[in-house]
């Protein structure tokens, strides 16, 4: 590839064989390709572009990302059911423990605090393990298949997932915590 002046010095009949066009960052790829096709057809030229392929790849990546986020949402719902079930089953154990702690001066919020801690620890542990597995998969499979591939972690989306999981753990603990908090310290300590 040479500039037109250099091409004129190399040959008597310089004719352009290819024209490269750089699109601006905000250009609509499909519209740009359509406009270029309209310009190229009367001249008998062909438009070869990477914009459509890039747009297709980005659309597939968006679909994959939303699919994964949907699966994470299903996992959060399953985790909610598991946390609610676990907390519901342990209410009988909590009643005595909670009654004793309340007799010692602790507040009624103890079951909710315990559920929040449980969901925070589980969410953070799951996030660290998940990112670790993603890194291992990237290093094992992706870098071998694609040279120069980089791993990007969507921190904002991951933060939203962690926040939703923690809030979901609190919501799952509401009913068991209310049930345990209703028992007075004297009644809870007298249970066998």
Of 27 and 143, more confident:
143
Any idea which residue has 């699966």 for tokens?
71
Q: Nearest-5° angle of CA 154, CA 156, CA 161?
A: 95
Of 140 and 101, more confident:
140
Where exactly are the structural domains of the chain? 62-189
Q: What's the rounded Cα separation, in Å, for the pair 75 and 185? A: 37
- Looking at the chain, the whole-number percentage of residues with pLDDT higher than 90 is 9
CB neighbours (10 Å) of residue 98?
A: 22
161 band by pLDDT with thresholds 50, 70 and 90: confident
170 band by pLDDT with thresholds 50, 70 and 90: confident
- Looking at the chain, the whole-number percentage of residues with pLDDT higher than 70 is 92
Return the pLDDT at 90: 66
Return the pLDDT at 145: 82
63 band by pLDDT with thresholds 50, 70 and 90: very high
Return the pLDDT at 132: 94
Give the length of the chain. 192
User: Is residue 182 over pLDDT 90?
Assistant: no
150 band by pLDDT with thresholds 50, 70 and 90: confident
3-state SS of the chain: helix, strand, coil percent to 5?
75, 0, 25
Sign of CA dihedral 27, 33, 38, 42: positive
117 band by pLDDT with thresholds 50, 70 and 90: confident
Question: Mean of the pLDDT values across residues 69-83?
Answer: 82
Query: Three-state DSSP class for 70?
Result: helix
Sign of CA dihedral 128, 130, 133, 139: negative
Return the closest-CA partner of residue 168 out of 94, 90, 83, 86.
Answer: 83
Return the pLDDT at 10: 80
Eight-state DSSP code of residue 142 = I
């Amino acid at each position: 590839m040479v500039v037109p002046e250099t091409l004129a010095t190399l040959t008597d009949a310089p004719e352009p064989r290819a024209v490269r066009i750089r699109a601006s960052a905000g250009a609509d790829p499909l519209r740009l390709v359509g406009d270029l096709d309209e310009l190229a057809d009367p001249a008998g030229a062909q438009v070869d572009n990477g914009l459509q392929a890039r747009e297709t790849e980005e659309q597939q990546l968006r679909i994959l990302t939303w699919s994964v986020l949907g699966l994470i949402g299903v996992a959060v719902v399953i985790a909610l059911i598991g946390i609610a079930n676990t907390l519901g089953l342990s209410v009988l154990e909590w009643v005595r423990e909670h009654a004793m702690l309340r007799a010692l001066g602790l507040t009624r919020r103890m079951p909710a605090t315990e559920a929040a801690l449980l969901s925070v620890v589980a969410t953070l542990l799951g996030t660290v393990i998940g990112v670790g597995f993603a890194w291992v998969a990237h290093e094992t499979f992706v870098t071998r298949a694609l040279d120069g591939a980089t791993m990007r972690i969507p921190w904002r989306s991951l933060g939203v997932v962690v926040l939703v999981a923690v809030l979901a753990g609190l919501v799952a603990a509401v009913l068991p915590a209310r049930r345990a908090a209703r028992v007075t310290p004297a009644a809870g300590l007298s249970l066998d």
